[in-house]
Amino acid sequence: MLLTLRLLIPALLVGFSMPALASKAPTIAIAHFDNNSVNDEFKSLGKGIADMLITDLSAVGALQVVERARLTEVLKELELSKSAFVDTKTAQKLGKGLAAQFLMVGAFVVHNKTMRIDARIVAVETGKVVNSTKVEGATSDFFAMEKELVDAIVSTLELKLEFKDKAKLRRNQTQSFSAFWSYAQGIDAADAGDPAAAQKRFAEAISADPNYRAAKTARQRLDAIFALRDKKKDAARASLFKGLDPAKPDFGEKVHALLSSFDRDVPEQMAQHIALHKMLIDQDLAPEFHPNNPGISMVPTHFLSFISAHLNDPAIWGDIAPACEYLLRKYPMMAAGTEGQCKVFLKVVDKMRKFEESQRTSWAERTIDEDTLDWDKSYIINESRIRELIKTAASRAQK
């Protein structure tokens, strides 16, 4: 379908003039576009369209563009969930909150494989619509449609562009609509306070288009945020571990908190997890704490998970029964669950003994490559520690 661009309300018809802007670069804010499609799954595109316009226009030296982060802040402050596409008074209020002279608001419709975008440019001071634009075409033509919206802004604000600015505006951030959609969903997830989902979507966008700079930048920004958070969590965990005191009434609660905090996909945290169990065994401690079930302990459950992951390792087969005996003696309140799991373990071992030696592969005999899962890496790296932990528990059963 051919693209169409209609300047329905030219600036001259609404009595608007631009001379006052000649001496200073005008400021424009791009609001999130409303989704008027029947399918709500497209709503993320509204933020994606705004983000792409902002990114493109930010390269123009003759124009100041309000950052999308600031837009999100003001939308929350004014308790506005929509772009105010229809309500020009609300658009004017939003524009003033953003300290912008102009505000672009809009809406879009996606039906089958076609898309239509309607946009308005509002002069914030007067509340007048100085330009009304409609572009439509196939979703595969989206990037050309976005460029027409850019052209509408440049034309309406009578921007004098240098050749380098014109060249920048011709470039597309990506040619993949799939990449753009994943990126838009990532933005939406980040705004909703779900950085993990955002990171996943940004990764999908990069997978669809490895050269998509905006997605790569957003992913790197999230990675940095996660790294900082992880660093703080690591420090808090180390402090909690260091402050463990069996003589204090909160000992069981702190052990529970530590057990709940470990991520087994991270080798260092798995090593700390193992060290905590080793400390409890060495000091003959059996902390009891559970927020919902007083007197219950998470220790046996976590310990048994280490055995479960190592049933393929002949080096620990002889230690499984005595290690289970130790857990049954130290944590009698967990006897039913422990006994049931241990019976299963012993049956599995009996079957494993009948396998050919080539099938008895311990974690230590496996190699790490680019396809190795993080969980597997942690077990391979910590194999010797886990063997020692199980053997230590087994030795305690005879004392």
Question: What pLDDT score does 292 carry?
Answer: 77
Is 227 inside a domain boundary? Answer: yes
Question: What pLDDT score does 13 carry?
Answer: 37
Question: What pLDDT score does 381 carry?
Answer: 92
Is 365 inside a domain boundary? Answer: yes
Q: Do residues 83 and 95 both lie within one domain? A: yes
Q: Do residues 294 and 189 both lie within one domain? A: no
The residue with tokens 């790490």 is 368
Is 2 inside a domain boundary? Answer: no
Range of the domain at 41: 11-172
Q: Do residues 251 and 219 both lie within one domain? A: no
Is 297 inside a domain boundary? Answer: yes
Backbone angles phi, psi at 348, to 5 degrees: -65, -45
Question: What pLDDT score does 223 carry?
Answer: 82
Question: What pLDDT score does 68 carry?
Answer: 85
User: What is the β-pairing status of strands 34-35 and 102-111?
Assistant: parallel
Is 362 inside a domain boundary? Answer: yes
Q: Do residues 94 and 218 both lie within one domain? A: no
Through-space distance between the first and last CA atoms of the chain, rounded to whole angstroms: 82
Question: What pLDDT score does 87 carry?
Answer: 66
- Burial string for 148-163 (b: 16+ CB within 10 Å, else e) reads bbbebbbbbbebeeee
Question: What pLDDT score does 9 carry?
Answer: 36
Domain boundary among 194, 223, 242: 242
Question: What pLDDT score does 267 carry?
Answer: 92
The residue with tokens 């631009």 is 18
Question: CA–CA distance from 315 to each of 222, 301, 311 (Å)?
Answer: 42, 21, 9
Question: What pLDDT score does 7 carry?
Answer: 40
CA neighbor of 104 nearest in space, from 119, 117, 114: 119
Q: Do residues 95 and 206 both lie within one domain? A: no
Q: Do residues 91 and 116 both lie within one domain? A: yes
What is the value of pTM for the model shown? 0.58
Beta bridge partners of 27: 64
The residue with tokens 């309140």 is 333
DSSP 31-83: PPPEE-SS-GGGGHHHHHHHHHHHHHHTT-TT-EE--HHHHHHHHHHTT--S-
Domain boundary among 242, 271, 289: 242
In this prediction, the residues of the chain whose per-residue pLDDT falls under 50 are: 1-22
Is 4 inside a domain boundary? Answer: no
Q: What is the Cα–Cα distance from 277 to 388, expressed in whole angstroms? A: 11
- Any idea what the Cα angle at residue 189 is, between residues 59 and 211, rounded to 5°? 45
Question: What pLDDT score does 317 carry?
Answer: 93
Q: What is the Cα–Cα distance from 41 to 35, expressed in whole angstroms? A: 9
Q: Do residues 124 and 213 both lie within one domain? A: no
Other CB atoms within 10 A of residue 319 CB: 21
Residues near 247 by beta carbon (within 8 Å), at least 6 away in sequence: none
**CATH number, position 144:** 3.40.50.10610
Is 265 inside a domain boundary? Answer: yes
Q: Do residues 315 and 190 both lie within one domain? A: no
Q: Do residues 278 and 335 both lie within one domain? A: yes
Q: What is the Cα–Cα distance from 117 to 107, expressed in whole angstroms? A: 6
Q: What is the Cα–Cα distance from 3 to 116, expressed in whole angstroms? A: 10
- 290 in the Ramachandran plot: left (φ > 0), alpha (ψ -120 to 50) or beta? beta
Other CB atoms within 10 A of residue 99 CB: 13
Q: Do residues 148 and 212 both lie within one domain? A: no
Question: What pLDDT score does 19 carry?
Answer: 42
Is 3 inside a domain boundary? Answer: no
Q: Do residues 238 and 369 both lie within one domain? A: no
Domain boundary among 118, 147, 172: 172
Q: Do residues 38 and 119 both lie within one domain? A: yes
SS3 sequence of 156-217: HCCCCCCHHHHHHHHCCCCCCHHHHHHHHHHHHHHHCCCHHHHHHHHHHHHHHCCCCHHHHH
Residues near 171 by beta carbon (within 8 Å), at least 6 away in sequence: none
> How many domains does the chain fold into?
3
Backbone angles phi, psi at 118, to 5 degrees: -110, 135
For 57-102, how does the pLDDT look when each residue is reduced to its tens digit (9 = 90+)?
A: 988 888 999 988 888 888 777 766 555 555 667 777 888 888 889 9
